[in-house]
Amino acid sequence: MTTIKARPITADEFAPFGELLTPREAPSKMINAGRCERHHALATVERGGGEAIISIFRSEPVSLPYDCALLERHPLGSQAFVPLGPDPWLSIVAPDEGGRPGAPIAFLVPAGMGVNLRAGVWHGVLTPLDRPADFLVVDREGGGVNLEEVAIAPVTVEA
C-alpha cells in the first residue's frame, strides 16, 4: 500500500487542479457603503451546457491516517466546496493520466477555505477531519454523464 503525506495547501501547488476559495490579500473593491470587502470572481463555474446549482453536502468525518480507495471526476463541470464550519479538511486530487487517475496528492485545507475543482479533475470523496461537517457546493446540473468513479489501490494519507 502506498502512503502519502498530506501537505499544506497553497494556490501554486493546487493550481493544476483548480482555485482556492479564500479572500485575497486585498479586496477587489469595497461595497455596501464601504462596510464590505468584495473579493470578486475567485473561481469560474464550468457548466458544460448545464446549469450552475448550489447545494449543501453533509459528510461524515475521517481521521488520519485515512485510506483513500476511490477517486471520481466530473468531466462536464467544475465543483466548488466551501466548508460551513470551523474545522480544517482534506482535499485529495490526482492528475489525469490517459483517462485514469495518476498518483494522488493530499492537501490539508485550513478552516474557512474552500476549493474549486476544474472540470475533469480526479478527486477523492468529501473528507472533513474528525467530526461531521457541512459544505456549500456549487456544481453542474444537466444532461450528459458527469460522474466517473474509479476504485484505486488504497493510498494511506498521513498528517
pLDDT in tens, 22-80: 999 999 999 999 999 999 999 999 999 999 999 999 999 999 999 999 999 999 999 99
In three-state secondary structure terms, 111 is coil
Rounded CA-CA distance 101/105 in Å is 11
Q: Which helix (H) or strand (E) holds 12?
A: helix 11-14
Q: What is the pLDDT of residue 128?
A: 97
- Nearest CA to 106 among 79, 124, 132? 124
Q: What is the pLDDT of residue 122?
A: 98
Q: Looking at the domain covering 2-158, what would its CATH class be?
A: mainly beta
Rounded CA-CA distance 99/105 in Å is 17
Burial class of 58 by CB neighbour count within 10 A (0 to 12, 13 to 18, 19+): exposed
Give the three cell numbers for residue 65. 491516517
| pLDDT at residue 1 is higher than 90 | no
pLDDT tens, residue by residue, 95-141: 999 999 999 999 999 999 999 999 999 999 999 999 999 999 999 99
Q: What is the pLDDT of residue 158?
A: 98
Domain layout of the chain by residue ranges: 2-158
Q: Which residues of 131-159 are buried (b: 16+ CB within 10 A; e: fewer)?
A: eebebebbbbeeeeebeeeeebeebebee
